[in-house]
Structure 1
């Protein structure tokens, strides 16, 4: 299982053993990580699982699809490394990945 670190806006970090094949969002929920609200349950319809992927890991997350891109375009805090964690499928190549959560999700 790859280890992934999620960092809350206040700096609190959580390192989890992430299950491959599941979304980062589901892994965060399964591990009780605060700040991943996932109001739509992973349907890419709300943006409450927004994360900032550290640049060196961004390519490992794959390409965003048009729906995800549309959801992120409505976010005033969107950055170049923004993704919705419901759209990131965990792979072994993500071992050591670090993501940060925006302020509103604390």
Structure 2
């Protein structure tokens, strides 16, 4: 099982064991990551699962779709080069050890 570390805006870390094939959002919500609101349930219809992905792992992810990029325009926190919606990241074994940061507000 890939292990992903979520770091909240205050620096608190929560290591999550994810299942390959689920989304990063599903893994985080299932594990009680408090700053993942995920209001749309993973439909890519909001930006409440916005995360900052460790740049070392960006190349291992598929490119964000136009829909995802458009939804990031609605993020309350600043959008950065490594911003992604966690509902659009499919967990794979290749992501084992990845760290993501959650912004202070969603």
Query: 1:23-102 to 2 correspondence within 5 Å?
Result: 23-75=23-75, 77-102=78-103
Aligned length: 105
- CA offset at residue 60 of structure 1? 1.4
- Aligned-CA RMSD value: 1.0
Shift of residue 59 of structure 1? Answer: 1.4
The TM-score, its normalising length taken from structure 1, stands at 0.95
Q: Distance in 2 between matches of 1:86 and 1:32?
A: 15
Structure 1 runs, 4 residues or longer, greater than 3 Å off? none
TM-score, with length taken from structure 2: 0.95
Any unmatched runs of 5+ in structure 2? none
Counterpart CA distance in 2 for 1:34 and 1:61 is 24
SS of the residue corresponding to residue 105 of structure 2 reads helix
More helix, by proportion = 1
Report whether the alignment pairs 1:7 with 2:7.
yes
